[in-house]
Structure 1
């Protein structure tokens, strides 16, 4: 406030001096105008000095002056110093981030909100073939042209990574993961998983080969056990006593081998050749009959068909997935439970649900339920004849149908297994034809 008073007194003083001089010369108004012009010239000179300082030497100290202009120069100088310190600190942080990214073995690519490449580390140049002289500012899909990556990029659903071969070396297998941040910007990371991919292929081949080799001896063993069981009354009692147990375990081994072979086929074969519109009423009715026969009167199995559209997929695979969910509900719910097989709308798509009012599952087990051989209760699972592969098969079937599995359960509140299918997997015309034919 004091600065403004001094500026006001300066203006009044110059105006007063001009008025006095003009009065002495018999031109009072001309003197007043001359005083005000002198005040304006002073402020114009300070404005020129400010412009010259900010334009030519912004890093230097401001020009020396007094009054409001001196305060303005000092404040601008302090603000500039603070901004320079902030910029230096931010540049230091950016430099450390870039140095740490350079030290990473994984590729890191920063994309703007349009998907154009802004910056990447040296690992991205080795794995993706990026060139700073030519590729900066180009859209990421101009480099990674695989249709699967383009669909993954535009889908904006980055919860799961995408595995693809490197664009410059097909022998190198990369796992891509995109993260959204800032103003709709993206961070693309690519990891070399070639060794893990080969180990996974070796594991799948080993399981498939061993399972295939086990089928013949198990079939022979089951055949002889069936023959012995037919003539059990002619065998010594101590020999006949173990036949039922041997037959039960042989049957269990055959089921395990069948599930392993099915799982291996789902992992290796990309599928899609037998995808047709499925009549969901007939499919759910078939699974209901099988589950009712397995339950043998101990459970009630119902069907609810709410979604009129049919599902585009493999009838054998969808039937297998739904049967696994239904048979699990039959096996692991107490007698008298109610099991519902439901086909209903969900968002833009639809979902298959298997719901029961049994004992439920502790949430701690839910993230691992789709792992191979994972059992919530190992003793009870073995007693019911489960192989521990049912939910793994369901997961792989859904992946082949662009779908995912959600599990909602609480102890004492039953369980709901929900297979979510996108809108692209629904076929209205086929559903109408199926309903008409029925």
Structure 2
């Protein structure tokens, strides 16, 4: 405010001097105009000095000036100096980020809000074949054209990674993961999992081959044991008890081999050939009858149908998944428990297939691992019920093959809900029977 008053007094002083100079000459107006012209010339001179400093030599000290112009130049100089320091820090940070990204073995690709390529590290050039001189500014789906990646990119559901072959080398298997950040921008990361993929294939082949080889000897053993069981009354009681135990364990091994072979088929076969609109009412009723037969009247089993649309999928696979959930509910809930098989609407116009019980429930610490092969909450009780430990793994794979996901809600002494969530794309209007 003081500087403004000084400039105002400067203007008044020059105007007064001009007026006093012109008064004796009989031209006070011309004198006043001369004073104002001198004031204007002073400001134009300072403005020209400021312009030359900003446009030609803003890195140096500002030109010397007094009053308001001097304060303005000093403030601009301090602001520019602060901006240069901020810019230097940002450039140093960006350079460190780029250097650390360059050191990564994984591909890192930065995409703008439209999906166009902005920056990538050298690993992305080797894995994805990106070329700085040609590809910058192009949309990512113009370079990664696999329909599965295009669908993954536009679906905007990036909770799970996507596994695909490299676009420049089909022998390499890459795992893609997209993360949203900033103003709807995306960070694409690709990891080479070729070695893990081959190990997984070897594991699947080994399990499938061993399971297949076990079927024949187990079938032979089962046949002979059934023959001997027909003559059990002629045997000593001790041998008869041993024969019954052998039959029980052989049956358990056959069930285990069957589940292993089913899992291998679900992992290897992409499926889809037998998909059709399913009669969900008939399917749930058939599984209810099977569950009641297993229960032997010890449980109350009901069906709840609130979704009129049909599910498009494999009847054999969906029935296997639902049966596994229903049989688990029968095996692991106490006598008198209520079990409900439900087909109802879900969020985002989808639907869910549920098996709900009011049994003992499951401690939440076990929930993340329930779908692992052979994982058991209570090993002693699970072995006594005759389960193979593969039921929920089969359920998970069946749901994945039908674009669905498994959710498990449970608390101790509050029952359990196993829920398969299907997207709207998997639903269709039920056909008249």
Matched residue, 2:392 = 391
Q: Could you list the runs of 5+ residues in structure 1 that have no partner in the other structure?
A: none
* 1:34 Cα deviation after fit: 2.2
* 1:22 Cα deviation after fit: 2.2
1:313 equivalent to 2:313? Answer yes
Matched residue, 1:401 = 402
Report the RMSD for the aligned CA atoms in angstroms: 1.1
Matched residue, 2:112 = 112
* 1:298 Cα deviation after fit: 1.0
- Deviation string 1:106-131 (CA, Å, 9 cap, x unpaired) is 11111111111111111111111111
Matched residue, 2:216 = 216
* 1:235 Cα deviation after fit: 1.1
* 1:247 Cα deviation after fit: 1.2
- Deviation string 1:33-84 (CA, Å, 9 cap, x unpaired) is 2222222222222222222222222222211101111111111111111111
* 1:367 Cα deviation after fit: 1.1
**How many Å separate the matches in 1 of 2:18 and 2:116?**
65
Matched residue, 1:362 = 363
* 1:426 Cα deviation after fit: 0.5
**How many Å separate the matches in 2 of 1:314 and 1:158?**
26
Matched residue, 1:150 = 150
* 1:408 Cα deviation after fit: 1.0
Secondary structure of 1:304's partner?
strand
Secondary structure of 1:168's partner?
coil
* 1:418 Cα deviation after fit: 1.0
**How many Å separate the matches in 2 of 1:47 and 1:243?**
109
| TM-score relative to the length of structure 2 | 0.98
**How many Å separate the matches in 1 of 2:194 and 2:384?**
40
**How many Å separate the matches in 2 of 1:43 and 1:230?**
119
Secondary structure of 1:141's partner?
helix
Secondary structure of 2:45's partner?
helix
**How many Å separate the matches in 1 of 2:40 and 2:358?**
88
**How many Å separate the matches in 2 of 1:111 and 1:41?**
53
* 1:236 Cα deviation after fit: 2.1
Matched residue, 1:247 = 247
- Deviation string 1:226-282 (CA, Å, 9 cap, x unpaired) is 121211111122211212211111111111100000000000000011110001101
- Deviation string 1:153-203 (CA, Å, 9 cap, x unpaired) is 000011100000000000000000111111111111111110100000000
Secondary structure of 2:26's partner?
coil
Matched residue, 2:35 = 35
1:427 equivalent to 2:409? Answer no
Q: Could you list the runs of 5+ residues in structure 2 that have no partner in the other structure?
A: none
1:53 equivalent to 2:53? Answer yes
* 1:5 Cα deviation after fit: 1.8
| TM-score relative to the length of structure 1 | 0.97
**How many Å separate the matches in 1 of 2:338 and 2:268?**
36
Matched residue, 1:381 = 382
**How many Å separate the matches in 2 of 1:89 and 1:357?**
60
Comparing 52-61 with 405-414, greater Cα deviation is found at 52-61
1:410 equivalent to 2:408? Answer no
Secondary structure of 2:62's partner?
coil
**How many Å separate the matches in 2 of 1:46 and 1:296?**
101
Comparing 288-297 with 205-214, greater Cα deviation is found at 288-297
Comparing 369-378 with 159-168, greater Cα deviation is found at 369-378
Cα 1:27/1:269, change in 2 over 3 Å: same
Secondary structure of 2:388's partner?
coil
**How many Å separate the matches in 2 of 1:114 and 1:96?**
26
Comparing 161-170 with 361-370, greater Cα deviation is found at 361-370
* 1:30 Cα deviation after fit: 2.6
**How many Å separate the matches in 1 of 2:189 and 2:379?**
39
